Structure 1
Amino acid sequence: MNFTNVEQSKNSTLVPVSGLSFFAVASGFLMSLIPLSLPSFGLSESLVPWLASIFYLGILIGATSIQNLVSRTGHRIALIIFLSTLILTIIAMLLVPDAGVWLIARFVAGFAVAGIFVVIESWLLMADSSKQRAKRLGLYMTSLYGGSALGQLAIAPIGISGIAPYLTVIFLLMLAILPPLLIKRGQPSCEQHQKVKLCELRGMSRPAILGCLASGLLLGPIYGLMPVYISSQVQSADQTGMLMAVIILGGMLVQPLVSHLSSRVSKSLLMALFCLFGTLGVVGVLEAQNFVIIATSYLVLGACSFALYPIAITLACDALPVAKIVSATEIMLLSYSVGSVLGPLFAANLSDSPDGIIFYLGGCLITTCIYMLIKSMQKTHSEQWPLSQ
């Protein structure tokens, strides 16, 4: 998609960020609500990994087919359409509490959420410099994860049984629609299409693509399975919501640091360092006995897991013109979605241990750390000895 004359004065962050904030609160609450509320609707908890995976499958499919809709309607109308579709899927789940209907609804919801992410990310990433892109993406991630953390805290006061929590989510999503519905200015100007060609795809940063893949492999199970794991450990809805909020709060708090370092440190090395510290968070979750230390470990784990995607996507966009940002965003979301589809299934089935999901997250983090270190050293070597390549 070729957004050739993007006027920066018109490309405002107000609409996407304000809409995103309400969406993030609703989405954060919904992601924990669904696995925890299954018994109250007479549904089996064995559905949990499948609901998570099919949701991310919807994101994966959506990431391959959103560009045309955005080009025809513009960012603002596309955002309204995707948020409205998400609301309809929740209404369908409430009207027909059946496993098959819920699986279909979550697939469609994944498609809609993919649209929301592509629209907002591309809206914000259409900037002239990599520094401005990193700053805008930091604002995006802070709003997304801050809202998601706040949504987790709704578990205790609103509860997880019956239709009231879902009606709350619908109300928040309706508030998210208001900014793009009422503010008709501020979207990027769209004039032509331009996709990333296959030959250019081969030349895109492999650490960026694999960083998004690793992010999906981590965040899919964190969103889809972690609420059930924490609930089995603490036996308290209040503490479950609090620890889930702590994980996502870590993701929010780390964003200014990511934005600051991503323009100063090799992005491959930066991803390796975050994966290393994330592994230490995994060790803390497994070994700590004190609740404060456990919460701190979850905070570190969340910060490091949520740091990978913004670093990877800015790495992918660094060498691209503004005209190809939407297409690149789709490719990165596609990579993330593949990981998110596979992650919950791997985490649920690779180990019979009660701590299987934690072992899985540790394995993903240390593997990604090693890969990123190797790529970082290769890049350093090629810069120091260009004639040897």
Structure 2
Amino acid sequence: MKVNVNVNSCEPVKNSTFVPVVGLSFFAVASGFLMSLIPLSLSSFGLDESLVPWLASIFYFGLLIGATCIESVVAKTGHRVAFILFLSLLISTIVLMLSLPSAATWLLARFIAGFAVAGIFVVVESWLLMADSAKQRAKRLGLYMTSLYGGSALGQLGIGPVGIDGVLPYLFVLGLLMLAILPPLLIKSGQPKNEHNLKMKLSEIKKLSRPAILGCLVSGLLLGPIYGLMPVYITNQTGSAEQTGILMATIILGGMLVQPLVSYLSPKMSKSLLMALFCLFGALAVMGILESKSFMVLSASYLLLGACSFALYPIAITLACDAIQMEKIVSATEIMLLSYSIGSVLGPLLASNLSDSPNALIFYLGGCLITTCLYMFIKSSEKIHTGQTPIAGA
């Protein structure tokens, strides 16, 4: 597949991966720990547990709003400065939560945090995706996802030794985020040139791959509840905060371990078929969680669920970027993040209100995976029946 790239104007091959990947890794450890810390630490700040799904949804609502206006910030400041600004904004939200621990303040802070995280994602994703071939994009995105999910898995393990009560765990998060700022602050070279970035027209957006957009949407529908509600579900399931940390880390570890496989398979086969297969195995993981009788089987099921859930977004975003100009990569990643954010906002609310069953969250995840699996199988079979090659296509 030939990608229309203006190499001379964008010089994508000179983009350094060091600054975004190292900064992202520290951010991921902090973010992974924080995502589980917030729902588990509410009682220590005198807040009610009924706030959990709302905190998750408003965070992703902030992510959604951020996804609509990040491009202009990147265009004006450049990737490096934008990275610093959004990390600083995220740090300020944690300071606000610690200073004024009330429901209204925390909801406001999580909304702003969502906006800041949207900026971090768009900056890092577009920085890495400004490469000169589909194969290099897949490789770089695999590095991005491995750093993101590996750091998030490591962050989950902090629940046991660092704890979940009081201010200390949040100071730990602040320290990690300050370390994340150091690479873009100290290293001023290696960012992509962004003066040629172009916004996609409505007619071009309509031509984006529908499986790609749906893949990002479903990724949000899955990962929003996994990050926002799963810690509480696992705690109720196991009765142990330490096991909650281990199993949450296992989920995200699955997401990290699958990335090399995604990078290898994504350029070689139909991406719709690949997403269908991951959804199928994810549904099997859901059955394993419901039927497991031992901690070993439970851990393996969560590992598989994480691998399949976290595989969808990188496949979908590379599918969306495969046939667009380099100058429109930032705009495309913004649109894909918008789709992800819509799913992430709706996911926690849908999962928490599905039923009164203690396994409502798992039933919800299974339903999302099965329906998406069927859709992606249909789309991939349509390509074959119309005579189009399934290799590296939609």
- TM-score category of the 2 structures, normalised to the smaller one: over 0.9
Question: Once the 2 structures are TM-superposed, how far is the Cα of residue 206 of structure 1 from its aligned partner?
Answer: 0.1
| Cα distance per residue 1:225-254 (max 9 Å; x no partner) | 000000001111110000000000000000
Question: Once the 2 structures are TM-superposed, how far is the Cα of residue 290 of structure 1 from its aligned partner?
Answer: 0.6
Partner of 2:304: 300
Partner of 1:63: 67
Match of 2:330 among 322, 326, 341: 326
Distance in 1 (CA, whole Å) between partners of 2:204 and 2:325 is 12
Distance in 2 (CA, whole Å) between partners of 1:322 and 1:34 is 38
Letter in 1 for 2:262: V
**Contact (CA 8 Å) 1:285, 1:298: kept in 2 or not?**
yes
The runs of 5 or more residues in structure 1 that have no matched partner are none
**Contact (CA 8 Å) 1:212, 1:313: kept in 2 or not?**
yes
Question: Once the 2 structures are TM-superposed, how far is the Cα of residue 190 of structure 1 from its aligned partner?
Answer: 1.8
Question: Once the 2 structures are TM-superposed, how far is the Cα of residue 109 of structure 1 from its aligned partner?
Answer: 0.2
Distance in 2 (CA, whole Å) between partners of 1:351 and 1:3 is 53
Query: Which runs of structure 2 are paired with 1:1-389 in the superposition (5 Å)?
Result: 5-383=9-387
Distance in 1 (CA, whole Å) between partners of 2:98 and 2:287 is 39
Where 1:141 maps in the other structure, the secondary structure is helix
CA change 1:127–1:384 in 2 (3 A) is closer
Question: Once the 2 structures are TM-superposed, how far is the Cα of residue 9 of structure 1 from its aligned partner?
Answer: 4.7
Distance in 2 (CA, whole Å) between partners of 1:9 and 1:209 is 27
Letter in 2 for 1:73: T
Question: Once the 2 structures are TM-superposed, how far is the Cα of residue 3 of structure 1 from its aligned partner?
Answer: 9.4
Distance in 1 (CA, whole Å) between partners of 2:69 and 2:174 is 25
Where 2:264 maps in the other structure, the secondary structure is helix
* Deviation >6 Å, runs of 4+: none
Distance in 1 (CA, whole Å) between partners of 2:336 and 2:12 is 24
Distance in 2 (CA, whole Å) between partners of 1:190 and 1:358 is 42
Where 1:110 maps in the other structure, the secondary structure is helix
TM-score norm. by structure 2 comes to: 0.96
Question: Once the 2 structures are TM-superposed, how far is the Cα of residue 370 of structure 1 from its aligned partner?
Answer: 0.3
Q: What's the RMSD between the two structures over aligned residues?
A: 1.1
Where 1:127 maps in the other structure, the secondary structure is coil
CA change 1:218–1:187 in 2 (3 A) is same
The runs of 5 or more residues in structure 2 that have no matched partner are 1-5, 390-394
Question: Once the 2 structures are TM-superposed, how far is the Cα of residue 191 of structure 1 from its aligned partner?
Answer: 1.8
Distance in 1 (CA, whole Å) between partners of 2:242 and 2:195 is 50
Question: Once the 2 structures are TM-superposed, how far is the Cα of residue 4 of structure 1 from its aligned partner?
Answer: 6.8
Question: Once the 2 structures are TM-superposed, how far is the Cα of residue 10 of structure 1 from its aligned partner?
Answer: 2.9
Letter in 2 for 1:278: G
Letter in 1 for 2:253: L
Identity among equivalent positions (%) equals 74
| Cα distance per residue 1:249-299 (max 9 Å; x no partner) | 000000000000001110000000000000000000000111000000000
Question: Once the 2 structures are TM-superposed, how far is the Cα of residue 6 of structure 1 from its aligned partner?
Answer: 2.2
Distance in 2 (CA, whole Å) between partners of 1:38 and 1:139 is 34
**Contact (CA 8 Å) 1:258, 1:307: kept in 2 or not?**
yes
Distance in 1 (CA, whole Å) between partners of 2:74 and 2:118 is 12
Distance in 2 (CA, whole Å) between partners of 1:363 and 1:228 is 20
**Contact (CA 8 Å) 1:5, 1:191: kept in 2 or not?**
no
